[in-house]
Structure 1
Amino acid sequence: MSQSAPIARLVSDWFAANARDLPWREPGTTAWGVLVSEVMSQQTPVRRVEPVWREWMERWPTPADLAAEPTGEAIRAWGRLGYPRRALRLHAAAVAVAGDHDNVVPDTIAALEALPGIGTYTARAVAAFAHRQRHPVVDTNVRRVVARAVAGNPDAGMATTAADLRATETLLPDDAEAAAVASAALMELGALICTARAPVCARCPLADDCAWHAKGEALPEGPSRKPQKYTGTDRHVRGLIMAVLREADDPVARVALDTVWHEPDRRERALTGLVADGLVVEGAGGFRLP
């Protein structure tokens, strides 16, 4: 039996019994719902995404519903998920789907990648999880599982490469539905069991087949990626400014925004960046969401 066959079968069987009960995995979830969940989940824990996703899907169940709203409403509804440019990208994608695809999220990689703000990972995730196609869906969790189980390495490096896509694809069953399940299972295993700093090998379905586990090597000392400082960074100050604007019905004067942070240079740099990114609009009465 090939290596790919037992790995796919083992993780899929484990997934059937251990998958988290997430709303976008429920039967009947549209491709739009999957797309929204994937964009929201980038660099954001699922526990924070779930309530916002539910609110979005109730308010904007189709791309056309979101496309009909000003971009500022998407930013406001994004709340504190972080990286609010993702809200702009989702709004732009909704406009494109509503206008160019008859309000139906496309089902080919090429068409998905042509949507504004949709990259390699998200396109393949939607194609696999929504349209049940056979594509390698490779995020940090999947890369780590494959690096350990197949290559025998404790980590997978800093960025996804074409080699990562090829390595993951070789593990997928030929059947499209089975491949879609295996893709979700690999991702879930990396999120819950084969974690970066505290893998639970005793509960892993791949323990007997894992090349890294067979070596018996310990993880390298310290995190594989240096933790990023947040407090006091430009990103932190941007978030403070956005929090004020989300709560405001009218434009906010500059003097009011001056109170969010004590360093004028950093505060001005953050505000200028928000305007340049299209997240904030400056007018005669002050600053507001677009």
Structure 2
Amino acid sequence: MPSPAPAERRVPWREPGFGAWGVLVSEFMLQQTQVARVVPLLEAWLARWPTPSALAGEAPAEAVKAWANLGYPRRALWLHRAAVEIRDRHDGVVPRDVDALLALTGIGDYTARAVAAFAYGDRHPVVDTNTRRVLARAVDGTEHPGPPHRRDLDAMAALLPEAAEEAALMNAATMELGQVVCVARSPRCDACPIRDLCAWRAAGAPSTPDLRRKQARYEGSDRQARGAVLRALRDATGPVPQAALLAGWHDAAQRDRAILSLLSDGLIESDGELVHLPR
């Protein structure tokens, strides 16, 4: 399969010279979050904390506050911890080695290889949900990819050009292809640059089962309650009595579960009866 043509859409983290720290922050923010929501918050984040050491020097609460409405706020806490680790273990420089990246808090196979490939130009397979969908259709001839697996990295590695620069381009272009053309629903096959090489299209685009785990609905969920608790603490000028926190929530048991789970995750802390963001 030849390298897909790069898309015209421009995003800051793919611009030359964006830097490893910027790429790392963007990858944390982009997990399960739309690009349009990420860009303005990413710019504000990097303006405030242009280096890992700048973020590491602030309290974790500031990272949680700055995360705003991105969702999955544990990512903010993990990013802060990773910044501390980069400062303390790597003299404030985001490491280039994949194993060193994997040793940082909150970094998995995808993020480690994305930083190594896009920030440092090294040849590594970078596989996200969009890439996996392109591989499933174009190579395997199935409508949906299976659950994530280590073999996805091997499948992408087998397709990459040998030259590191071309490999990085193909990684980015394949991800973009899956995001804007080879989408999960109603793929735009007529606009696809590899449509004549696609195994799924050649087979008549058969419907195949989607075996991936579906995300629970947000409205009315514990996740929504957790978000409401964090929002209240972000807006507060100081610690809040736990009994007063979200006192009017429609489900008291859900409210209590949300507070307990946030305490367990380290996203909030308590001093006796008072609750606050992590210090």
Query: How high is the TM-score relative to the length of structure 1?
Result: 0.92
User: What CA distance in whole angstroms lies between the structure 2 residues aligned with 1:214 and 1:96?
Assistant: 49
Give runs of aligned pairs for residues 1-290 of structure 1, distance below 5 A: 4=1, 6=2, 8=3, 11=4, 14-15=5-6, 18-158=7-147, 160-220=148-208, 226=214, 228-259=216-247, 261-284=249-272, 286-290=274-278
Letter in 1 for 2:245: L
User: What CA distance in whole angstroms lies between the structure 1 residues aligned with 2:204 and 2:16?
Assistant: 41
Percent identity at matched positions? 52
C-alpha contact (below 8 Å) 1:197/1:223 kept by paired residues: no
Q: CA deviation at 1:222?
A: 8.4
User: What CA distance in whole angstroms lies between the structure 2 residues aligned with 1:239 and 1:137?
Assistant: 31
1:170 is paired with a residue whose SS is helix
C-alpha contact (below 8 Å) 1:40/1:81 kept by paired residues: yes
Count of residues in Structure 1 that have an aligned counterpart in Structure 2: 278
User: What CA distance in whole angstroms lies between the structure 1 residues aligned with 2:207 and 2:60?
Assistant: 44
C-alpha contact (below 8 Å) 2:144/2:209 kept by paired residues: no
User: What CA distance in whole angstroms lies between the structure 1 residues aligned with 2:269 and 2:140?
Assistant: 49
Q: 1:91 to 1:229 in 2, by over 3 A?
A: same
Q: CA deviation at 1:86?
A: 0.3
Q: CA deviation at 1:219?
A: 3.5
C-alpha contact (below 8 Å) 1:197/1:219 kept by paired residues: no
Letter in 2 for 1:95: V
Q: CA deviation at 1:172?
A: 0.4
CA deviations on 1:152-183 (whole Å, 9 max, x unpaired) are 1111112x212111111111000011101100
Structure 1 stretches of 4+ with a deviation exceeding 2 A read 217-228
Unaligned runs of 5+ residues in structure 1 are none
CA RMSD of aligned residues (A): 1.6
C-alpha contact (below 8 Å) 1:237/1:260 kept by paired residues: no
Q: CA deviation at 1:26?
A: 2.1
C-alpha contact (below 8 Å) 2:232/2:246 kept by paired residues: no
Q: CA deviation at 1:261?
A: 1.8
Q: 1:224 to 1:122 in 2, by over 3 A?
A: closer
User: What CA distance in whole angstroms lies between the structure 2 residues aligned with 1:126 and 1:30?
Assistant: 9
User: What CA distance in whole angstroms lies between the structure 2 residues aligned with 1:167 and 1:132?
Assistant: 20
Query: How high is the TM-score relative to the length of structure 2?
Result: 0.95
C-alpha contact (below 8 Å) 1:63/1:94 kept by paired residues: yes
Q: CA deviation at 1:223?
A: 9.4
CA deviations on 1:224-269 (whole Å, 9 max, x unpaired) are 6545211111111000110111111211122332335211111101
User: What CA distance in whole angstroms lies between the structure 2 residues aligned with 1:180 and 1:60?
Assistant: 27
1:255 is paired with a residue whose SS is helix
